Amino acid sequence: MAHSSTNSSTNGYDFKVVLLGEGCVGKTSVVLRYVEDKFNDKHISTIQASFLKKKLNINGKRVNLAICDTAGQEKFHALGPIYYRMSSGAVLVYDITDADSFQKVKNWVKELKKILGSEICLVIAGNKVDLERDRNVSQEEAEEYARQVGAVHFNTSAKQNHNIEEMFLDLSRRMIVHADEVEQKSTLSRTSSTRRNVVIVEDEADQERPASSSCCGGFSQSS
Ligand code: GDP
Ligand code: MG
């Protein structure tokens, strides 16, 4: 229920990724840098939520990312689930110069875990590392926190294009692993239920075989 549709390796993977974090931490900047390799010094107001698409090729597997940039976080509890319910991954962004924005990340993580459990792959981005001098969040603390919640932490700068691609690549790799595990599990359960069906079908087929084979024989003779 929690993850988006994922096809077999031949068709590639479709993943929805949601960006969450306090206003002005750089969510829109991160996604614009990643998808269009652009950066704007001004805050571009994000209207509710928008999707940006990115195609990747990871070890010969096609990956389509639909990245959902969100805004209006104060209404998160009312609107949030619409954006993240079908997501395979989430990028939780904070600003390394703003301690409060890191606390907000912890709130998003709690919310996501409550609703999606381990169904969603998490990455935490400590953005604006070009402003290292004004850092207000301990890197060690942030990394330790990420480990505790099963997320991977990245120091990013949308401005200097630092670690943005690496971060989405790492997230994509983990989403592939997770999707493959889910598919394997469902294949296993399908196979075992099919086996049960096969036994029943075989019984029926045995009884019907004389009639059906003469029917087929009739067709091949007359054609
Ligand atoms: P959002 O509200 O989270 O979507 O944040 P925005 O992407 O609109 O960015 C808010 C402000 O932070 C803008 O003025 C951006 O130019 C600036 N910003 C975003 N990323 C960085 C970064 O990596 N370094 C610096 N120095 N500023 C950034
Ligand atoms: Mg924005």
**For 130-182, where are the E strands, in sequence order?**
152-155
Strand partners, 124: 92, 153
Domains present along the chain, CATH in parentheses: 13-183 (3.40.50.300)
Please list every protein residue whose CB sits less than 6 Å from any atom of ligand 1.
Answer: 21, 23-29, 40-44, 46, 127-128, 130-131, 157-159
Q: What is the pLDDT of residues 154-175, one digit of tens each?
A: 999 999 999 999 999 999 999 9
Question: In this predicted structure, what is the pLDDT of residue 26?
Answer: 96
Distance in angstroms (rounded) separating the CA atoms of residues 8 and 132: 42
Q: How many residues does the chain have?
A: 223
Q: How far is the CA of 120 from the centre of ligand 1 (A)?
A: 25
Q: What is the pLDDT of residues 6-18, one digit of tens each?
A: 554 457 999 999 9
Q: Choose between 143 and 207: higher pLDDT.
A: 143
**Lookup: tokens for 183:** 């598919």
99-113, 139-153, 180-194: lowest mean pLDDT where? Answer: 180-194
